[in-house]
Structure 1
Amino acid sequence: MSTAEVKIHVNGRPVTVVAADTDMSLAEFLHERLDLTGTKVCCGIGVCRACTVGVRSRHDALMEKTLACVTPVSAAANQYIYTVESLADGARLSPLQQTFLESFAFQCGYCTPGFLMAATAMLEHLKTYRMSADQLETEIDAWVGENLCRCTGYVKYREAIRKVAQMQMKRGA
């Protein structure tokens, strides 16, 4: 058990984690202490990727993906954590969320937050690391290829991610 409190940022706000909570998984902390239940825990061992959250080492760093069910809060010290709740701007969905919805990308939706957060990190990287359209499938596979879904067969998820990535690449943003 850790004896020191930890400071993290969650969805843009600073959070002080008391020492007793630093050994909790990040997913458990988000659920139990911050009431952010969008991050899902399915397998509990990091295999399914439903628990994926975005993490930045600094607020201006590129987002990486992290498995919240197997990451202790102490490992997130001084990091910037982003959950699926951070994507929408009030009632306005992010372009990725809107495209998932319009594409009927999900059925039960349990794995959707993990796909959204992994794809959000990928899209952020695409803004910095330009690539050709023919490299896109490989990039999508690298970012969401390990995410598991028992309902959809992945086609709609990948189509939605591809659509947003292609729009972003076309805009050059």
Structure 2
Amino acid sequence: MSDGDIRIHVNGQAVMVSAADTDMSLADYLHERLDLTGTKVGCGIGVCRACTVGTRYRPDALMEKTLACTTTVSALANQHVYTVESLAHGHRLSPLQQSFLENFAFQCGYCTPGFLMAATAMLDHLKEYRASVDQLDTIIDTWVGGNLCRCTGYVKYREAIFKVAQAQIKGGA
């Protein structure tokens, strides 16, 4: 490790980032250096939120939403980054991904990774904090309300997220 290099963890793997790459946006680094292209860049200025990834300060901390297009790699030194590629386990989709499929929650799919990662962070927080099913609409608005879909698939996204969150609350998971 040379002076200025940093370490980040991406989808459970430690990654050494050379000093020359630390000022890259996380989205560019994921695409160009790690060949993880699931994270999309729409607007490039953090407005559309297609680039949303999950981050944790520690592996056991709650997942937070992070905009990969406006966050430099250096801002995530020693942190844990989770991309849409981290959701499935082998060929088995996560419950949220499965719900998106079953509820036809996307059309072109470009914004889907951002919705999935924002909703994954939301579900992580729901495990920690008690919430009722009656609060879910407000909670979903808080976590994914800013994500933009040019195909106007909002209703289906919300339905898919609601179903998974409702099952999690009722199951106590």
Q: Is the 8 A contact 1:105 1:152 kept in 2?
A: no
Measure, in 1, the Cα distance between the counterparts of 2:10 and 2:167: 28
1:38-86 Cα deviation digits (max 9, x unpaired)? 0000100000000000000001100000000000000010000000000
- Residue 163 of structure 1: aligned partner: 163
Structure 1 counterpart of 2:128, one-letter code: T
Cα deviation for residue 153 of structure 1 reads 3.7
Gaps of 5+ in 1: none
CA distance in 1, matches of 2:84, 2:133: 27
After TM superposition, the structure 1 = structure 2 runs for residues 108-123 of structure 1, keeping only pairs within 5 Å, are 108-123=108-123
TM-score normalized by the length of structure 1: 0.98
Displacement, 1:132? 1.3
Counterpart in the other structure of 1:80? 80
Distance 1:9 1:146 in 2: 26
Counterpart position of 1:58: 58
CA RMSD of aligned residues (A): 0.7
Give 1:13's aligned residue: 13
Distance 1:153 1:22 in 2: 35
Identity of aligned residues (%): 79
Secondary structure of the corresponding residue to residue 41 of structure 2: coil
Letter paired with 1:83? T
- Which residue does the alignment assign to 1:151? 151
Q: TM-score, normalised by structure 2?
A: 0.98
Asked if the contact 1:53/1:84 (under 8 Å) is kept, the reply is yes
> 1:133 matched to which residue of 2?
133
Match of 2:96 in 1: 96
Q: SS at the partner of 1:93? A: coil
How far apart are 1:134 and its partner, in Å? Answer: 1.2
CA distance in 2: counterparts of 1:134 and 1:103, whole angstroms: 21
- CA offsets per residue over residues 90-116 of structure 1, 9 Å max, x none? 110000000000100000000000000
Q: How many residue pairs end up in the alignment? A: 171
Task: Give the secondary-structure state (helix, strand or coil) at the position aligned to 2:109.
Answer: coil
What amino acid is the match of 1:107?
Q
Q: Secondary structure at the match of 1:149?
A: coil
Structure 2 residue runs without a partner (length 5+): none
Runs (4+) of structure 1 exceeding 2 A deviation are none
Instruction: Report the alpha carbon displacement of residue 133 of structure 1 after superposing the two structures with TM.
Output: 1.3
Which one-letter code corresponds to 1:49 in the other structure? R
Quick check: 2:23–2:73 contact (8 Å CA) kept in 1? yes
User: What is the identity, as a one-letter code, of the residue corresponding to 2:43?
Assistant: C
Where 1:53 maps in the other structure, the secondary structure is strand
Query: 1:166 deviation in Å?
Result: 0.4
